Every structure is written in structure tokens, then in C-alpha cells.
């Protein structure tokens, strides 16, 4: 019955008509590929936020590369065109489906704290350093994980070398790309702090005009060095030495009034970095296998727990209001448990299996009433000893997490799939460009709890030596009897989890076409007194009815920027991306049609 339901829903999509819709130079830019939010075809597909990056990925697939080769090439290109969200100065998570073995594997490319860090990393003179001061500092920079992730992915599953995978991005950085409104806005919004660093100011200010060509020859040279010398150039070589020098002595403009604290990152911290292979999370939902990223990401466990909670209700038969109500309440409960139990598994005992048990989900689901709203923050449950409708301990509020990340999704002609999420944390990360290297450094260590979220309650996410901060990134791959059905992910900080959950339930339960599910108005409940919602969501009839039930909302411009791929019954692939968020995404197929 499930097979026919899923296949029927996917088959119906075949009849949907595809939707078509300063180093900056004043010279005319190369004509950029168009932004198209949906592409259907054979030979493989790519979905990312950027048309240049997606085109590079499709070119790799067309030349015989596999999904991993294309994913690394796309990610490197996003480091050029989307440098305020991703790049070799940051980290992320890589989820891979191998069509030959029918296995899902994951790589943990999360940044790590210096060996000198302890739980008082953000305490100064007995007081917590203000968040905004930590953001723009060397103190918030973790050891980048992205280059090592690319290397390990290519070595394990790819057919291209790192040299081959980085060449298109190097060429793109050297020849330049057309500046769009999002790129211009991101520079403009960060202009004040970018101006406080000589290297960042030289690269990005004044903000390049929309339609101009932006070139980054320093980044092109850095990619060339990585191509020639491998990632050891960063973890043990000249790029790494420049990175450490930048962190420990930030290139602050002498005229700047900003207090910029140095970090304590060392070359040994870089040399000791590893991107480990981790067991993926796995949850069963409506007969499907949903795979995600395990700790230190909370994406896999939190999405999985919420799906398990929703398993108790047949969402396909619920009214739109009751569907959204249950989606928000399941999110609320799973975030309470995430905040209490998930951290770096090398430092804390994360009860992954218990968090993903249906018994625990059932003990939480019974707290949901169809006619009332839970009061947040809700206290967590105990997954090791679940009791029906019980909570334990103190309330577990959700700390702030930066929203600027990027996600790409790729499938190839052989059926391999990659869901890869990358980040610098804040928009523009720490705001510090490594002089002469052309890339921004992350501020990922702000994802740690500065102090225990709830005084007196164990917090699994306090800083520690070599520790990885908890993440909300949720690259996800869904299988049906070992065959891919859907893969997706999103940026958005903590709202990544709710975004992925909303798209999954709309697509799998409600039968909403993938592009429409991605474009739908979003709301994000993260165990807070109010639910964050887009203005388009607040303008719906359902929002008014939810308010009557007791939901309270705060407005935000955008939540997430999803990219996804799905396998169609005839063997073709559909790539899908945003229609409007972040200016719209870019889907490409090798052989469209």
C-alpha cells in the first residue's frame, strides 16, 4: 500500500509543467546561466542556490564524473559565488548514498575548537563576552573542516582527484561572475564590520554593483595551491600558517574602533584535524528509511524524532490547520530533547538510538493536544527511560544559531546521491578574510553555549578542547527499499531542522509537488514562546486559525533555502530549488526532458 502511495504521488509529478521562469570590475560580466527552480531529466541532476555552481556540477556529470565529484565541484564554486555562506574557511556535513552497495554514509566536517579551549572560552573577567563581540573576532574561529571533507569524500567515493574537482572553481574565481542582488545585499549589510579589516575591505568594499563582474584572484590562487599540494597546504602548509596568523593577529584597520579579540588557534590544531566517517541516523517513517547526520549535528536526531512523533497521526487526512499544528508541536518537543541531549559525541554520551526510538516518540506525542498549544520552553523527556506524557528536568530553551549556510544536492546517472550542507555560521562568518588568500573565516564556535543554557542543568554543548559545537544542519536522504526517493537540505541555523521537516511532511504525507513544497510559506517552532514565521505564512487563513488555537508568531523575512532531488518512477531525476528565497535557486539536469 505504501509503495503504491509513494509511487503514485511521484508519478503525478510527471504531469507538472516545469517552472521556467573591490575587485569588482566595471566590464560586462559573462552571461550567467539562468535561475531555474526545477529541472527534470536523465544523466544526473544538480540543485544549488547558484546558477554558476549548478552549471559546473552538471558539466562534471556530463563528462562522466559521479555525484561526489560533482558535489565537491559545486561546493568549491559556491565558495566563489556564495562566499558569505560557505568556503574553505568553514565546515559542514556530507551525506552520501552509494548505488552499488545501497548504503548511506556520512562525513563529519564540523569545525573544532582549539586545544586550548575550555568551558570558559567566552568568559572574560568573570563575565560572559557579548555575543556580537565574539562573532567578529578570532576567538570564534574553529578549525575549518570543509577541505578535509572534500578530500575524504573524493578518496572514498569519487572518481576525480581534488585537482580535477577544484579546477572549475579556480577558473570561475579568476574570470569572475555576475554580481546579483543577494551578493550585493550581503556585502552592504556587513559593510561596517568588513571595513574594520584591511583584507576584507580590500576584497569586498565598496560593495560591487549588481550586474558587475566580481573576480577573486587570491582565492583562485589558493584553489590552485590546494590542487597542486592537496589539503595539506591548509592543514600543514602555507595556507594554514596564514590562517593561524590571521586568527591570532586579526588584520584590524588602524582606524577601526571595534574591539577585536584574537583567537588561540595553532598550526597543531590544524594538523590534528580529521573529518571522521560517522554512522548516519536512521528512522523509519511511513515505511521509508530517513537517513541524516548524527551528532555533533542535531539534524538527524531532531528531524527523526519529530517524524516519529508525527507517525502517530495520519497527516494525509488532517485538515491544513491540524497538519500545521501537529508539525509545530512535534518540532517544539523534539527541540526540547535536542537541546538537552545532543553534543559532540567525543565528549558527551549522546543517546542517539534512544532519541530515535518509537517508544520515546510515543511518550512525547501524547503531550500534543489537537485543541491547545504546549507552553514553551517545554522540559525534555528522558529517552533512556521514557514514560508516557512525562517530562524531566528543567526547561531547555534553544540558543541562537547563525542562519547563513548553503546546501547542495546531486544525483548521478548511476543512482548515487549526495546531500552536502556547508557553512561559515553568520553571514560572512567572522568577517575576516585571510590576507592574500581570498576566503573568509568561520565564526562557528559561537554555536557553543557560552554558559549553561539553564543554570544547574547539564549542557552537552559547552566549549572544550578540540570539541565540535552542536549544529542544526540536516542533509537528509530518504530511501524506499534501499532506493532513493528524495534527498534535501537547507541553510537557516536552527530553522534548518524545521524547514527540512516541513518539506518532508508536505511532500511525503500531503502529496505536495516538490517545487511547491519548497516554495510554500514556512514557520519554525524551536521550543520558544513564539513561532518564527515568514510574512507569507502569517497572511494565510491557517495562521489565523493557529493563533486561535494558541500559537503566537513573530515575523521574519525568509526561513531557509532548500535544494532537493527526487527519483521519478521512470528512472529520471527531478532537481528542485527555491523559486524566490535568496533570489531563487538553480536546478540543472544533464539531459533535460
> Quick one: pLDDT at residue 213?
97
Q: Is 405 a catalytic residue?
A: yes
Quote the CA–CA distance of 62 and 505 in Å, as a whole number.
Answer: 33
Quote the CA–CA distance of 490 and 412 in Å, as a whole number.
Answer: 20
Query: Nearest CA to 208 among 22, 32, 84?
Result: 22
> Quick one: pLDDT at residue 452?
79
Residue 205 has pLDDT above 50, yes or no: yes
What are the distances in angstroms from CA 122 to CA 198, 442, 462? 25, 16, 10
| Mean pLDDT taken over the chain | 93
pLDDT band at 458 (very low <50, low <70, confident <90, very high): confident
Quote the CA–CA distance of 439 and 222 in Å, as a whole number.
Answer: 9
Q: 509: buried, middle or exposed (CB in 10 Å: 19+, 13-18, 0-12)?
A: buried
Pairing label, strands 531-534, 553-556: parallel
At what angle are helices 495-508 and 299-310 packed, to 10 degrees? 40
Give 430's contacts (C-beta < 8 A, 6+ positions apart): 135, 136, 137, 138, 140, 141, 424, 440, 441, 442, 443
Residue 113 has pLDDT above 60, yes or no: yes
Residue 354 has pLDDT above 50, yes or no: yes
> Quick one: pLDDT at residue 400?
60
pLDDT band at 593 (very low <50, low <70, confident <90, very high): confident
Give residue-wise pLDDT tens across range 143-190.
999 999 999 999 999 999 999 999 999 999 999 999 999 999 999 999
Residue whose entry in the numeric block shows the C-alpha cell 486559525? 545
Q: What residue ranges do the domains of the chain occupy?
A: 2-277+405-455+464-592, 294-365
pLDDT band at 346 (very low <50, low <70, confident <90, very high): very high
* Grid coordinates of 61: 556529470
Mean pLDDT for the stretch of residues 284-293: 98
Residue whose entry in the numeric block shows the C-alpha cell 597542486? 228
> Quick one: pLDDT at residue 392?
73
Which of the 8 DSSP states describes residue 252? Answer: B
- Exactly one of 222, 405, 423, 505 is catalytic; name it: 405
Quote the CA–CA distance of 57 and 279 in Å, as a whole number.
Answer: 27
Percent of the chain with pLDDT over 90: 89
Mean pLDDT for the stretch of residues 134-140: 98
Give residue-wise pLDDT tens across range 462-513.
999 999 999 999 999 999 999 999 999 999 999 999 999 999 999 999 999 9
Quote the CA–CA distance of 410 and 412 in Å, as a whole number.
Answer: 7
**CATH architecture assigned to 2-277+405-455+464-592:** 4-Layer Sandwich (3.60)
Residue 85 has pLDDT above 60, yes or no: yes
Give residue-wise pLDDT tens across range 563-574.
999 999 999 999
> Quick one: pLDDT at residue 52?
98
Q: Return the CATH class of domain 294-365.
A: mainly alpha
* Angle 110-299-348 from CA coordinates, rounded to 5°: 65
Amino acid at each position: 500500500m505504501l509503495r503504491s502511495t509513494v509511487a503514485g504521488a511521484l508519478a503525478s509529478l510527471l504531469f507538472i509543467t516545469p517552472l521556467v521562469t573591490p575587485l569588482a570590475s566595471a566590464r560586462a560580466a559573462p552571461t550567467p546561466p539562468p535561475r531555474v527552480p526545477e529541472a527534470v531529466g536523465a544523466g544526473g541532476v544538480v540543485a544549488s542556490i547558484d546558477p554558476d555552481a549548478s552549471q559546473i556540477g552538471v558539466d562534471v556529470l556530463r563528462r562522466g564524473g559521479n555525484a561526489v565529484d560533482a558535489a565537491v565541484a559545486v561546493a568549491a564554486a559556491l565558495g566563489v559565488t556564495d562566499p558569505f555562506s560557505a568556503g574553505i574557511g568553514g565546515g559542514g556535513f556530507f551525506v552520501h548514498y552509494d548505488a552499488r552497495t545501497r548504503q548511506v554514509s556520512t562525513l563529519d566536517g564540523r569545525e573544532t575548537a582549539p586545544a586550548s579551549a575550555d568551558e570558559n572560552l567566552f568568559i572574560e573577567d568573570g563575565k560572559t563576552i557579548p555575543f556580537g563581540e565574539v562573532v567578529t573576532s578570532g576567538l570564534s574561529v574553529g578549525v575549518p573542516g570543509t577541505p578535509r571533507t572534500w578530500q575524504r569524500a573524493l578518496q572514498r567515493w569519487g572518481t576525480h582527484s581534488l585537482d580535477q574537482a577544484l579546477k572549475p572553481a579556480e577558473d570561475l574565481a579568476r574570470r569572475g561572475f555576475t554580481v546579483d542582488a543577494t551578493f550585493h545585499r550581503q556585502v552592504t549589510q556587513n559593510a561596517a564590520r568588513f571595513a574594520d579589516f584591511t583584507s576584507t575591505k580590500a576584497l569586498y568594499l565598496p560593495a560591487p554593483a549588481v550586474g558587475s563582474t566580481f573576480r577573486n584572484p587570491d582565492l583562485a590562487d589558493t584553489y590552485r595551491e590546494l590542487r597542486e599540494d592537496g589539503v595539506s597546504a591548509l592543514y600543514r602548509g602555507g595556507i594554514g600558517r596564514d590562517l593561524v596568523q590571521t586568527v591570532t593577529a586579526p588584520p584590524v584597520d588602524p582606524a577601526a574602533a571595534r574591539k577585536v579579540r584574537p583567537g588561540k588557534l595553532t598550526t597543531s590544531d590544524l594538523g590534528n584535524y580529521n573529518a571522521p566517517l560517522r554512522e548516519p541516523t536512521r528512522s523509519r517513517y511511513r515505511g521509508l528509511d530517513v537517513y541524516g547526520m548524527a551528532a555533533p549535528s542535531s539534524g538527524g536526531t531532531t528531524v527523526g524524532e519529530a517524524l516519529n512523533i508525527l507517525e502517530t497521526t495520519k497527516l494525509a487526512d488532517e485538515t491544513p490547520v491540524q497538519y500545521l499544528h501537529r508539525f509545530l508541536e512535534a518540532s517544539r518537543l523534539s527541540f526540547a530533547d535536542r537541546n538537552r541531549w545532543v553534543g559532540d559525541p567525543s565528549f558527551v554520551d549522546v543517546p542517539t538510538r534512544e532519541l530515535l526510538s518509537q517508544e520515546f516518540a510515543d511518550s512525547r506525542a501524547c503531550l500534543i493536544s489537537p485543541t491547545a498549544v504546549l507552553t514553551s520552553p517545554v522540559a525534555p523527556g528522558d529517552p533512556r527511560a521514557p514514560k508516557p506524557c512525562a517530562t524531566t528536568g528543567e526547561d531547555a530553551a534553544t540558543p541562537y544559531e547563525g542562519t547563513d549556510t548553503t546546501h547542495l544536492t546531486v544525483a548521478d546517472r548511476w543512482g548515487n546521491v549526495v546531500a552536502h550542507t556547508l557553512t561559515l555560521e553568520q553571514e560572512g562568518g567572522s568577517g575576516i578574510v585571510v590576507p592574500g588568500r581570498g576566503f573568509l573565516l568561520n565564526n562557528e564556535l559561537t554555536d557553543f553555549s557560552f554558559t549553561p543554557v539553564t543554570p544547574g542543568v547539564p549542557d552537552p554543548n559547552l566549549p572544550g578542547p578540540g570539541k565540535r559545537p552542536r549544529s542544526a544542519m540536516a542533509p537528509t536522504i530518504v530511501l524506499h527499499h534501499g532506493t532513493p526517493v528524495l534527498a534535501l537540505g537547507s541553510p537557516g541555523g536552527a530553522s534548518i531542522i524545521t524547514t527540512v521537516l516541513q518539506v518532508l511532511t508536505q511532500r511525503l504525507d500531503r502529496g505536495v509537488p516538490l517545487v511547491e513544497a519548497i516554495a510554500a510559506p514556512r514557520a519554525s517552532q524551536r521550543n520558544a514562546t513564539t513561532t518564527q514565521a515568514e510574512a507569507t505564512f502569517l497572511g494565510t487563513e491557517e495562521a489565523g486559525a493557529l493563533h486561535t488555537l494558541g500559537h503566537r508568531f513573530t515575523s521574519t523575512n525568509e526561513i531557509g533555502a532548500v535544494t532537493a532531488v527526487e527519483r521519478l518512477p521512470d528512472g529520471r531525476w527531478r532537481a528542485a530549488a527555491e523559486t524566490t528565497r535568496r533570489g531563487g535557486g538553480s536546478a540543472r539536469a544533464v539531459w533535460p526532458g
